[in-house]
């Protein structure tokens, strides 16, 4: 039902006029469209969510969680088609799309019964009973880079907490959200509990953020857009959770042997280039001991050159296109500015990859020869661009790592795990990976500084959508 919005349990016609085209970034061709929702549509959705809130919040948390688990089963049944859709609208290689873009949201919805069981919705505190109550109507505004994954990270815990939701997905990669709405409808969510309004940020997202009946906005996107959301939300003093940009460091300590150092650099390239670098938590700054700079440059340049851009439907492709022409030009602009400022581009650069004149492709790029304060080392590029920075001693590494406006993620590699942990504890970032530490979907995720506030995933992610009421006995 991609040509209609989903409000109050029904598919409805949007009021915003000309539909929004959906473009395949690998071919530059429009292959579908979605409704252009506006203020009237958002108001209808918010009013439906507010009307549905009392009955939904009164249901036991276990029942709400089981409905979310049913969504996981529905998504799993559609996993193949979902992967094809997301490849077409985003351009992430098919193997990674299946594992991450589809697999992760399925796991998020499926985890809700376990997470809800671990939350104390009622507890005694002295002569009081403290209740954990749903915050109310939640407006969820989600990004284009991990579209269904980020939707699940907000919608599943919000619904399990007892909130009702109005979702405004990215207009760049919106089709997966409509597939989710179909699954949720089939799962039996009551009318008004989940609502979907597609549209542009100024026409739909800003209206949602400002609406007086919305109790909380959960937003993922750029820091610039996050500031605007917070400004609009402040007018009605609603709660906000913001997951914003990053310029995350990957610190290689000086006790790594030759083989371990080479392995760390190669894995550092991979940690930067995932999803063509369109990952807010990508480790985009590689910090290496100054005496090993030349070694790191050689290894990184060779590894990056192996990430040949190509057709995202080819199972052998490791690097797909960027999501849009605007995003491609943004990345190229960063690279041109870095070269003008005297940076050394070891491999890649702003030109189109050979043989890929069609599609929003960029070259995998490694940059060196810049100061930690350089624009390319401070600003989020959001493309396959790795910056290598040398440091002089552990304290200098920590200073450089912490020396940006962001604090979303970080990595530390060392031969001595205890030393790595000690350095990690000095980094101001919301999620830090030590050596080959595995991703934990139940661990909280979120940032320091201009990377935002609030946490997603696991118990902490669910608790973001709860508030407390104390009853004195």
Catalytic (active-site) positions: 243, 280
Burial class (CB in 10 A: 0-12, 13-18, 19+), 66: middle
Q: Angle at CA 337, nearest 5°, toward 334 and 341?
A: 135
Residue 162 to residue 55: CA distance in whole angstroms? 9
Distances (CA, A) of 430 to 337, 406, 424, 445: 30, 10, 11, 6
Closest alpha carbon to 413 in 400, 397, 428: 397
Residue 135 to residue 27: CA distance in whole angstroms? 43
Residue 2 to residue 143: CA distance in whole angstroms? 18
Residue 301 to residue 314: CA distance in whole angstroms? 24
Do 122 and 348 meet the contact criterion of CB atoms below 8 Å apart?
no
Do 155 and 167 meet the contact criterion of CB atoms below 8 Å apart?
yes
Rounded to the nearest 5 percent, the helix, strand and coil shares of the chain are: 40, 20, 35
């Amino acid at each position: 039902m991609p040509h209609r919005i989903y409000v109050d349990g029904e598919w409805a016609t949007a009021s915003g006029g000309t539909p929004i085209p959906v473009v395949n970034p690998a071919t530059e061709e429009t292959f579908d469209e979605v409704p252009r929702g506006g203020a009237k549509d958002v108001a209808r959705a918010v009013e439906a969510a507010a009307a549905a809130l009392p009955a939904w919040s009164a249901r036991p948390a276990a029942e709400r969680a089981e409905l979310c688990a049913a969504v996981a089963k529905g998504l799993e049944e559609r996993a193949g088609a979902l992967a094809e859709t997301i490849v077409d609208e985003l351009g992430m290689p098919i193997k990674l799309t299946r594992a991450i873009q589809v697999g992760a949201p399925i796991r998020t919805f499926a985890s809700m019964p376990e997470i809800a069981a671990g939350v104390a919705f009622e507890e005694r505190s002295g002569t009081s009973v403290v209740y954990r109550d749903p915050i109310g109507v939640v407006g969820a505004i989600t990004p284009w880079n991990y579209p269904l994954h980020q939707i699940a990270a907000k919608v599943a815990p919000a619904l399990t907490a007892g909130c009702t939701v109005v979702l405004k997905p990215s207009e760049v990669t919106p089709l997966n959200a409509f597939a989710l709405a179909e699954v949720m409808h089939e799962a039996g969510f009551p009318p008004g509990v989940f609502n979907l309004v597609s549209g542009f940020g100024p026409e739909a997202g800003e209206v949602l953020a400002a609406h007086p009946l919305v109790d909380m906005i959960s937003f993922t996107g750029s820091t610039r857009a996050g500031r605007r959301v917070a400004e609009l939300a402040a007018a009605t003093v609603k709660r906000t959770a913001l997951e914003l940009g990053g310029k995350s460091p990957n610190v290689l300590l000086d006790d790594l042997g030759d083989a371990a150092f080479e392995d760390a650099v190669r894995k550092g390239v991979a940690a930067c280039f995932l999803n063509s670098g369109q990952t807010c938590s990508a480790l985009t700054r590689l910090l290496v001991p100054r005496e090993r700079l030349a070694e790191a440059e050689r290894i990184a340049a060779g590894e990056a050159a192996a990430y040949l851009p190509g057709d995202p439907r080819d199972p052998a492709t490791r690097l797909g296109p960027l999501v849009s022409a605007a995003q491609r030009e943004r990345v190229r602009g960063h690279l041109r500015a870095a070269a003008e400022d005297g940076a050394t581009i070891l491999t890649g650069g702003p030109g189109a990859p050979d043989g890929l004149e069609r599609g929003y492709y960029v070259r995998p790029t490694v940059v060196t020869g810049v100061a930690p304060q350089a624009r390319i080392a401070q600003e989020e590029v959001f493309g396959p661009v790795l910056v290598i920075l040398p440091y002089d001693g552990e304290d200098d590494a920590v200073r450089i790592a912490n020396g940006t406006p962001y604090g979303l993620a970080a990595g530390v590699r060392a031969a001595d795990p205890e030393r790595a942990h000690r350095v990690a504890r000095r980094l101001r970032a919301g999620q830090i990976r030590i050596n080959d530490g595995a991703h934990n979907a139940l661990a909280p995720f979120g940032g320091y500084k201009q990377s935002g506030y609030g946490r997603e995933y696991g118990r902490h992610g669910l608790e973001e959508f709860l508030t407390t009421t104390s009853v004195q006995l």
